[in-house]
Structure 1
Amino acid sequence: MSAFQPIQKRVFQFSLRIIKMIVFLPKNSAGFAISQQIMRSGTSIGANIAEAQDAASKADFTHCMNIALKEARETDYWLRLITAAKLIPEAKMASLLAEIEELVKILRSSVKKLRNKN
């Protein structure tokens, strides 16, 4: 089992939750624009971790993981914006916000360790 398999599974489940959350955004220009942005960033986290598994070098692996971290931070921004704008009730957003905070911490720690090894 790959060392990154648990995080891959966790991020995959998070991506599914993002996809399901999008249907609750308002059907107006703001909701549409935000849904496109968060769909891209929220699902890209896992895609970059998956891409890292076949990296050509340690530097490439670190680069892919760093992109996953950046996408997670962007997703955190969009989730906080959705909550602050009251586009979806805060009660429905709380677990997604908590999860992205945890994912950012995990990815930040992983990238830091990878950089220290290189």
Structure 2
Amino acid sequence: MQNLKIRTNRFAINCWKLCIGIPRSRELDAWVRQLIRCSSSVGANYRASQRAKSTADFIYKLKIVEEETDESIYWLELFQEVLDPRKKQIQTLIKEANELLAIVVASIKTTRKNKNKQNRKI
């Protein structure tokens, strides 16, 4: 899972790089802060999931990753609507966020399935 640690880290950094180039305004600054917060939370919570105390804790932390990734997509979609010159950069970030989201959702489903199998054996 080292690859996912690297990918979530890069995702946060690339969102930050996007935000650096966004013109400063009262309206856009609020969106920038939101995107930086949730995109960096993706990696932070993924890392926390790798130190989960139980299967339930692991799933709980991955659900946070899922929510923060989805929120990142939301803010990126808003930026895509208002920042024409940066559309390609934003589309690349949305694609990466959707891939991360798919991986996390699949991990949650697999973990739940495996947990249910273990519970049936007991």
What is the TM-score with the length of structure 2 in the denominator?
Answer: 0.88
Tell me what 2:68 maps to.
71
Residue 116 of structure 1 aligns with which residue?
A: 113
Q: Which of 27, 36, 39 is matched with 1:39 structurally?
A: 36
Match of 1:8 in 2: 5
Unaligned runs of at least 5 residues, structure 2? 116-122
Secondary structure of the structure 2 residue equivalent to 1:98: helix
Worse-superposed segment, 92-101 or 36-45: 92-101
- Runs of 4+, deviation exceeding 6 Å: none
Q: Percent identity?
A: 29
1:59 equivalent in structure 2: 56
What CA RMSD, in Å, does the superposition of the two structures yield over aligned residues? 1.3
Which stretch has the larger CA shift, 67-76 or 89-98?
89-98
> For this pair of structures, how many residues does the alignment match?
115
Please say if residues 52 and 61 of structure 1, whose CA atoms lie closer than 8 Å, have aligned partners that are also in contact: yes
Mark the runs of 5 or more structure 1 residues left unpaired by the alignment: none
Counterpart check, 1:85 vs 2:119: no
